[in-house]
């Protein structure tokens, strides 16, 4: 099993989740984080840290979010590890109110200076 970051993280990227992860399982993309399934030990510590409730146990991922299971596994192999919280994007709170934003997912890695 693993935990999975879903659509709500896109363009929010608050990174509160990162600080509590005991295995450094989070990976950073340009506008979202994902979890490396091979590193996640299912401790669930990250779940309550996310202000937008983006993180679910794999078996509890909502039915309209299941593509993010494979998306996390694939992107985690391309993106670098993130181990410390960093400032959220300036417009993160605006994007927190947007439900349908999967078309905004940027599959590139983090930009320099982020």
Q: Could you say which residues in the range 36-75 bind ligand SF4, by CB under 6 A?
A: 40-46
- Which residues are CB-neighbours of 98 under 8 A, at least 6 positions away? 11
Residue 55 makes contact with ligand F3S by CB under 6 A? yes
Residue choice 50, 61, 75, 76 for contact with ligand F3S (CB under 6 A)? 50
How many residues lie near ligand SF4 (CB under 6 A)?
A: 14
The phi and psi torsions of 71 (rounded to 5 degrees) equal -60, -45
The DSSP secondary-structure symbol of 60 reads G
d(CA 73, CA 77): 7
Residue 1 makes contact with ligand SF4 by CB under 6 A? no
Note the residue count of the chain: 114
Give the shortest CB-91-to-ligand SF4 separation in angstroms.
Answer: 25
- Point out which residues bind ligand SF4 (CB under 6 A): 3, 20-23, 25, 35, 40-46
């Amino acid at each position: 099993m693993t935990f999975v970051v879903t659509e709500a993280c896109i363009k929010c990227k608050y990174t509160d989740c990162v600080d509590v992860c005991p295995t450094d399982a989070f990976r950073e993309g340009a506008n979202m984080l994902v979890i490396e399934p091979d590193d996640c030990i299912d401790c669930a510590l990250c779940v309550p840290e996310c202000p937008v409730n983006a993180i679910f146990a794999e078996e509890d991922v909502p039915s309209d979010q299941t593509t993010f299971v494979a998306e996390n596994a694939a992107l985690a192999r391309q993106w670098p590890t993130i181990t410390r919280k960093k400032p959220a994007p300036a417009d993160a709170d605006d994007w927190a109110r947007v439900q349908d934003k999967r078309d905004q997912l940027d599959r590139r890695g983090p930009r320099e200076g982020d």
